[in-house]
Amino acid sequence: MLELRTEIEIDAPPEHVWAVLIDFEKFPDWNPFIRRIHGNALVGSRLDVLLGASGTRPMRFRPTVKAVVPHRELRWLGRLGLPWLFDGEHIFQIEPLGSTRVRFIQRERFRGLLVPLLARSLNRDARRGFEEMNRALRARVGASSSSQPGTGKA
Protein backbone atom coordinates (compact mmCIF):
# COMPACT_ATOMS: atom_id res chain seq x y z
CA MET A 1 0.00 0.00 0.00
CA LEU A 2 1.09 3.57 -0.71
CA GLU A 3 -0.58 6.64 0.75
CA LEU A 4 -0.08 10.18 -0.51
CA ARG A 5 -1.17 13.12 1.62
CA THR A 6 -1.12 16.86 1.06
CA GLU A 7 -2.79 19.68 2.95
CA ILE A 8 -3.32 23.41 2.78
CA GLU A 9 -4.98 25.97 5.02
CA ILE A 10 -7.74 28.06 3.48
CA ASP A 11 -9.22 31.25 4.89
CA ALA A 12 -12.89 30.40 4.38
CA PRO A 13 -15.69 28.66 6.24
CA PRO A 14 -16.06 24.89 5.61
CA GLU A 15 -19.32 25.39 3.70
CA HIS A 16 -17.61 27.66 1.14
CA VAL A 17 -14.82 25.14 0.54
CA TRP A 18 -17.37 22.34 0.27
CA ALA A 19 -19.49 24.28 -2.21
CA VAL A 20 -16.51 24.68 -4.56
CA LEU A 21 -15.36 21.08 -4.05
CA ILE A 22 -18.66 19.52 -5.09
CA ASP A 23 -19.45 21.95 -7.92
CA PHE A 24 -18.08 19.48 -10.48
CA GLU A 25 -19.45 21.42 -13.45
CA LYS A 26 -17.01 24.26 -12.77
CA PHE A 27 -13.86 22.13 -12.29
CA PRO A 28 -12.60 22.90 -15.85
CA ASP A 29 -12.64 26.62 -14.92
CA TRP A 30 -10.18 26.34 -12.06
CA ASN A 31 -8.84 22.85 -11.32
CA PRO A 32 -5.47 22.07 -12.94
CA PHE A 33 -5.42 18.46 -11.65
CA ILE A 34 -8.98 17.12 -11.80
CA ARG A 35 -9.80 18.65 -15.13
CA ARG A 36 -13.33 17.30 -15.44
CA ILE A 37 -15.89 15.38 -13.38
CA HIS A 38 -19.31 14.27 -14.60
CA GLY A 39 -21.73 12.80 -12.07
CA ASN A 40 -23.11 13.51 -8.64
CA ALA A 41 -21.58 13.44 -5.17
CA LEU A 42 -23.93 10.71 -3.94
CA VAL A 43 -22.79 7.54 -2.16
CA GLY A 44 -22.88 4.62 -4.59
CA SER A 45 -22.90 6.73 -7.74
CA ARG A 46 -20.26 6.46 -10.45
CA LEU A 47 -18.30 9.48 -11.58
CA ASP A 48 -16.52 10.06 -14.88
CA VAL A 49 -13.21 11.75 -14.00
CA LEU A 50 -10.40 13.15 -16.13
CA LEU A 51 -7.27 14.00 -14.15
CA GLY A 52 -3.57 14.59 -14.52
CA ALA A 53 -0.92 16.84 -13.03
CA SER A 54 0.54 19.59 -15.20
CA GLY A 55 2.89 18.20 -17.82
CA THR A 56 1.29 14.75 -17.79
CA ARG A 57 -1.21 13.11 -20.09
CA PRO A 58 -4.64 13.10 -18.41
CA MET A 59 -6.18 9.80 -17.39
CA ARG A 60 -9.90 8.98 -17.46
CA PHE A 61 -11.50 6.64 -14.93
CA ARG A 62 -14.89 5.90 -13.37
CA PRO A 63 -14.68 5.79 -9.57
CA THR A 64 -17.54 4.97 -7.20
CA VAL A 65 -18.43 7.50 -4.52
CA LYS A 66 -17.89 5.88 -1.10
CA ALA A 67 -18.56 8.72 1.36
CA VAL A 68 -20.19 12.14 1.33
CA VAL A 69 -20.21 14.06 4.61
CA PRO A 70 -21.29 17.63 3.81
CA HIS A 71 -18.69 20.25 4.71
CA ARG A 72 -16.29 17.50 5.89
CA GLU A 73 -15.46 14.66 3.45
CA LEU A 74 -15.80 13.36 -0.09
CA ARG A 75 -14.32 9.93 -0.86
CA TRP A 76 -14.27 7.75 -3.95
CA LEU A 77 -12.72 4.46 -5.04
CA GLY A 78 -11.20 4.07 -8.47
CA ARG A 79 -10.09 0.76 -9.88
CA LEU A 80 -7.85 -0.25 -12.74
CA GLY A 81 -9.00 -3.69 -13.86
CA LEU A 82 -9.43 -6.28 -11.15
CA PRO A 83 -9.54 -5.38 -7.41
CA TRP A 84 -6.12 -6.83 -6.70
CA LEU A 85 -4.43 -5.04 -9.63
CA PHE A 86 -4.64 -1.33 -8.74
CA ASP A 87 -7.13 0.56 -6.56
CA GLY A 88 -7.00 4.19 -5.53
CA GLU A 89 -9.18 5.52 -2.72
CA HIS A 90 -9.20 9.30 -3.03
CA ILE A 91 -10.18 11.29 0.07
CA PHE A 92 -10.89 15.01 0.32
CA GLN A 93 -11.26 16.22 3.92
CA ILE A 94 -12.17 19.63 5.31
CA GLU A 95 -11.12 20.20 8.92
CA PRO A 96 -12.45 23.38 10.56
CA LEU A 97 -9.77 25.48 12.27
CA GLY A 98 -12.31 28.03 13.47
CA SER A 99 -15.42 29.48 11.89
CA THR A 100 -13.60 31.06 8.92
CA ARG A 101 -10.53 28.86 8.38
CA VAL A 102 -10.06 25.22 7.38
CA ARG A 103 -7.38 22.68 6.67
CA PHE A 104 -8.05 20.98 3.34
CA ILE A 105 -6.50 17.51 3.19
CA GLN A 106 -6.22 15.51 0.02
CA ARG A 107 -5.15 11.88 0.36
CA GLU A 108 -5.08 8.77 -1.74
CA ARG A 109 -4.49 5.19 -0.68
CA PHE A 110 -3.16 3.00 -3.47
CA ARG A 111 -3.36 -0.80 -3.25
CA GLY A 112 -2.65 -3.66 -5.61
CA LEU A 113 0.06 -5.48 -7.51
CA LEU A 114 0.91 -2.52 -9.74
CA VAL A 115 1.54 -0.09 -6.86
CA PRO A 116 5.28 -0.91 -6.48
CA LEU A 117 5.78 -0.42 -10.22
CA LEU A 118 3.96 2.93 -10.21
CA ALA A 119 5.08 4.25 -6.80
CA ARG A 120 7.78 6.55 -8.15
CA SER A 121 5.52 8.30 -10.67
CA LEU A 122 2.66 8.46 -8.16
CA ASN A 123 4.92 10.13 -5.60
CA ARG A 124 6.11 12.60 -8.22
CA ASP A 125 3.12 13.30 -10.48
CA ALA A 126 0.08 12.59 -8.30
CA ARG A 127 1.58 14.50 -5.37
CA ARG A 128 2.30 17.47 -7.65
CA GLY A 129 -1.27 17.30 -8.96
CA PHE A 130 -2.66 17.28 -5.41
CA GLU A 131 -0.58 20.33 -4.52
CA GLU A 132 -1.62 22.15 -7.71
CA MET A 133 -5.27 21.47 -6.96
CA ASN A 134 -4.92 22.51 -3.31
CA ARG A 135 -3.48 25.90 -4.29
CA ALA A 136 -6.10 26.39 -7.00
CA LEU A 137 -8.89 25.48 -4.56
CA ARG A 138 -7.61 28.06 -2.08
CA ALA A 139 -7.55 30.70 -4.83
CA ARG A 140 -11.00 29.71 -6.10
CA VAL A 141 -12.60 29.74 -2.66
CA GLY A 142 -11.03 33.14 -1.96
CA ALA A 143 -12.38 34.49 -5.24
CA SER A 144 -15.87 33.07 -4.69
CA SER A 145 -15.99 34.27 -1.05
CA SER A 146 -15.10 37.81 -2.01
CA SER A 147 -17.96 38.00 -4.52
CA GLN A 148 -20.68 36.65 -2.21
CA PRO A 149 -23.02 39.17 -0.64
CA GLY A 150 -22.77 39.58 3.10
CA THR A 151 -19.14 38.46 3.33
CA GLY A 152 -17.91 41.99 3.97
CA LYS A 153 -15.36 41.58 1.17
CA ALA A 154 -15.27 43.51 -2.09
Q: What is the 3-state secondary structure (H, E, C) of 56-78?
A: CCCEEECCEEEEEECCCEEEEEE
| pLDDT the model gives residue 146 | 59
| pLDDT the model gives residue 154 | 35
Q: Is residue 152 part of a domain?
A: no
pLDDT grade for 41, boundaries at 50, 70 and 90: very high
Measure the CA–CA gap between 40 and 60, rounded to whole angstroms: 17
Q: Is residue 154 part of a domain?
A: no
Q: Is residue 151 part of a domain?
A: no
Comparing 1-15, 34-48, 50-64, the range with the smallest average pLDDT is 50-64
Which range marks the domain in which residue 129 is found? 2-146
Q: Is residue 51 part of a domain?
A: yes
Helices (H), ranges, the chain = 14-21, 27-30, 115-121, 127-146
Closest CA to 77 of 52, 44, 106: 44
Q: Is residue 17 part of a domain?
A: yes
Q: How many domains does the chain have?
A: 1
Tell me the percentage of the chain whose pLDDT exceeds 70: 94
Q: How many CA atoms lie within 13 A of 110 on its CB side?
A: 20
pLDDT grade for 150, boundaries at 50, 70 and 90: very low
pLDDT for 2 beyond 80: yes
CATH assignment of the domain containing 103: 3.30.530.20
pLDDT for 151 beyond 60: no
Q: Are 39 and 95 in contact (CB under 8 A)?
A: no
Q: Is residue 140 part of a domain?
A: yes
Residue pLDDT, tens place only, 73-130? 999 999 887 778 899 999 999 999 989 999 999 999 999 998 988 889 888 899 999 9
Mean pLDDT calculated for residue range 1-14: 96
Q: Are 12 and 141 in contact (CB under 8 A)?
A: yes
- Maximum distance among all alpha carbons in the chain? 52
Q: Is residue 153 part of a domain?
A: no
